[in-house]
Amino acid sequence: MKERKSFENGKETDVVGKEAVLSSSMGNRESVGRGEDDDGSDKKEVQSRTSTCQRSTPTSTLDDGYESCNSTPQGGQQRLIRQQSSPSSTLGFTPNLIPKNLQVQVEEDERGFESLLASSSSSQAEADPDSPREEGGDDRETWASNADFLLSIIGFAVDLANVWRFPYLCYKNGGGAFLIPYILMLVFGAVPLFYMELILGQFSRQGPISVWRICPLFKGVGFCAVLVAFYVSFYYNVIIAWSLYFLASSIKVELPWLHCNNVWNTDLCWESMLPENRNNQTAVPIINNISTVSIVNTHTPASEFFHRAVLEMQWSDGLHAMGYPKWQLVLCLLIVYTMLYISLFKGVKSSGKVVWVTATMPYVVLSILLVRGLMLPGAVKGITYYLKPELSKLREAQVWVDAAVQIFYSVGAGFGVHLSYASYNTFHNNCFRDCIVTTIVNSFTSFFSGFVIFTYLGFMSHKQGVPISTVATEGPGLVFQVYPEAVATLPGSHLWSMLFFFMLIMLGLDSAMGGLECVITGLMDEFSRFFKERPHSREFFTLGVIILSFSVSLINVTPGGIYMFHLFDTYSAGISLLCSALFEAIAVSWFYGLDKFSQDAYAMLGRRPGCYWRICWKIISPSFIIGVVIFGLLYHEPLQYNEYLYPSWAEWVGWSLALSSILMIPLVAIIQIIKTPGTLKEQPCSSKTIESIFPQFVKFKLNRIGRYLYCASKSCIYCIFENRC
């Protein structure tokens, strides 16, 4: 028998057994569930009787040890709790759902109510001294609306890779046939992990580090995810800065990548898109020289503008000669980080409004560009090459690996961003719906972007008289060299150029916001005691993260910055991100337990995940990640950018960068083993009750779905329910 406390007339008394007595102040209060003011009859009614749920008189039996009570006052609902009326708090709980053997008494006593709240707070702190008293509870910020959250996760998932990588992969790996492995990897690999992260974040209302109180042995997974997200910010925001530079250059009277008569152009520059040059397939005259060279060795004006005017690569021949940052790019980078700070320093209340622009504008611009592209000669040819199925390609292992890598990185599982965003949801938000909507929108955007890109590639192929394979490419080369060249000769080229680079900025900003939000939320939740004691801690900490990320990013805007950019891009979020997602799935499925996890989902959504989700979480998704990791390690090639082959020491730097985040997983596990009493067998996951792990389950309005009672009111009362474990 467990001993519990109750309060009668303001004095603490012992109650033996599973009965628990709750006291609350009854002054001028409104009745829960009725919304009417108290009067004399109400007061007498409450004083004269105790609302009790007896096991002998249930009207219905609920699962997980709960029953419905038919003991209700005459003429109305059973009133279990009454709370002081205020504009900011209306309980609105579901009254007739009380745990078995739980006797709830409502008595009018101000001192008893206050003592009960104090007792609950102190007992909670004693149960888990490492858990912050208010962390993740009622004081946690929430999204202003579900639309803010949905647009935020869509904005993070739909990024630059949807535009510059998927269309090329689809073309290279069998056209329409590529959709078969892509959809299979989506359904059995990426989506289950995405859904798992949403459940974890929303249920715990914690960031990517603190959420692992459910399984402390794997707390390093959270640190790994935060480090990966932070590393990505070092180079990803540079892409947005390049886009901003191109956007500003598009305002000039003449697009600077149209001709070869600029100071940065070389003798090998060839204006392939101009009518007088498009039939010259064999040779190009060299300025001030009577000799000729093959066009294979020439450069387009757009290529030379990007490499020589923007990056200034002519002043560096490798990592050993980085040079000094280019001030124009530094200014663009500073503008980007300023926009990120303005979007993030107030939390999701501010970022949730920004995504209404950053997440929706790309679709408007893509639609406009598609309509214009379809009017160009050669557009149909480009789309045909994009979609033409080659089923024989499906026999190649590389096609399946490309599909797996693309959908995995596109959805963004393992970064901790979706988990961070979901932690600001209301407890009963339908995260299953959000998961499905986001994955559909993300995949549609990738497919839709292919039509836009290949209409212009078909136009270039037609105008130059070369195969599409000659002009098709991926990555920065596509958006900063091929596409600018394609629109340079169009009527109104300035407008099309500005629209395109504005779209790239929007695509990049909301993804960059998500990565930095993961870092900020993860660390502030984990060290919440430190931050809660300091005013304006969110603003100052966000500023610190922004300044640090900006400082490291400066290395990427030097003449040799493109080499460091490529190094970051290859190693910072490659195998380390896969390991983060792998151990996340292992921790939840094999250590925390799918039964517990399914119960958590049921608590929020009112339904348990089915066999498909459980099998994917436990077997298929981890196997899919392991397969990608093994294949990547076996077929790893020496790092190279264009003709530059990276030295061996650069490879070591890259692997050190990757291992610095991966090693957080075993390192933190060892620390947890050392500082936690008991044998290793007892330690992997927490044996504490859920209310001691996540304090919001101790303070709540009675809002019961499944077996949990959850608090969402700022003026809440205490209730007792059965232990979770």
DSSP H or E stretch at residue 76: none
The answer to whether the annotation marks 507 as part of a ligand binding site is yes
For residues 613 and 611, what is the distance between their CA atoms, to the nearest angstrom? 5
Closest to 35 (Cα-Cα) out of 108, 105, 90, 110: 90
Cβ(192)–Cβ(621) under 8 Å? yes
The answer to whether the annotation marks 130 as part of a ligand binding site is no
Cβ(22)–Cβ(114) under 8 Å? no
Token pair 């008189």 is found at 57
Cβ(545)–Cβ(527) under 8 Å? no
Closest to 45 (Cα-Cα) out of 57, 54, 36, 58: 36
The answer to whether the annotation marks 155 as part of a ligand binding site is yes
The answer to whether the annotation marks 410 as part of a ligand binding site is yes
Q: Which two tokens stand for residue 297?
A: 């060795």
What residues contact residue 286 under an 8 Å CB cut-off, 6+ apart? 267, 268, 292, 293
Q: Which two tokens stand for residue 674?
A: 């050392």
The answer to whether the annotation marks 598 as part of a ligand binding site is no
Residue 257: Cβ within 10 Å count: 27
- Start-to-end Cα distance in the chain: 17
For residues 122 and 682, what is the distance between their CA atoms, to the nearest angstrom? 26
For residues 331 and 248, what is the distance between their CA atoms, to the nearest angstrom? 12
Q: Is 320 helix (H, G, I), strand (E, B) or coil?
A: coil
Closest to 139 (Cα-Cα) out of 514, 419, 532: 532
Q: What's the alpha-carbon Rg for the chain, to the nearest Å?
A: 30
Find the largest Cα–Cα distance for the chain. 110
DSSP-derived secondary structure letter, 89: B
Q: Helix H segments across 375-415?
A: 379-387, 397-411
The answer to whether the annotation marks 162 as part of a ligand binding site is yes
DSSP-derived secondary structure letter, 619: I
Q: Which two tokens stand for residue 296?
A: 């294979």
The answer to whether the annotation marks 31 as part of a ligand binding site is no
Residue 532: Cβ within 10 Å count: 15
Cβ(330)–Cβ(554) under 8 Å? yes
The answer to whether the annotation marks 511 as part of a ligand binding site is yes
Tell me, what amino acid is at 427? F
Token pair 């077996």 is found at 707
DSSP secondary structure letters along 191-256: HHHHHHHHHHHHHHT--TTGGGGGSGGGHHHHHHHHHHHHHHHHHHHHHHHHHHHHHHHTTSSS-T
Q: Which two tokens stand for residue 182?
A: 């892509």
Q: Helix H segments across 392-527?
A: 397-411, 417-422, 431-464, 468-471, 476-477, 483-488, 493-526
DSSP-derived secondary structure letter, 681: G
CB-based burial label for 656 (10 Å; 0-12, 13-18, 19+): exposed
For residues 149 and 153, what is the distance between their CA atoms, to the nearest angstrom? 6
Q: What are phi and psi of 99, to 5 degrees?
A: -60, 155
For residues 103 and 475, what is the distance between their CA atoms, to the nearest angstrom? 64
Closest to 698 (Cα-Cα) out of 720, 725, 724: 720
Q: What are phi and psi of 231, to 5 degrees?
A: -60, -40
Cβ(195)–Cβ(432) under 8 Å? yes
For residues 256 and 262, what is the distance between their CA atoms, to the nearest angstrom? 8
Annotated binding site for Na(+): 155, 157-158, 162, 410, 442, 507, 510-511
Binding-site entries: 155, 157-158, 162, 410, 442, 507, 510-511
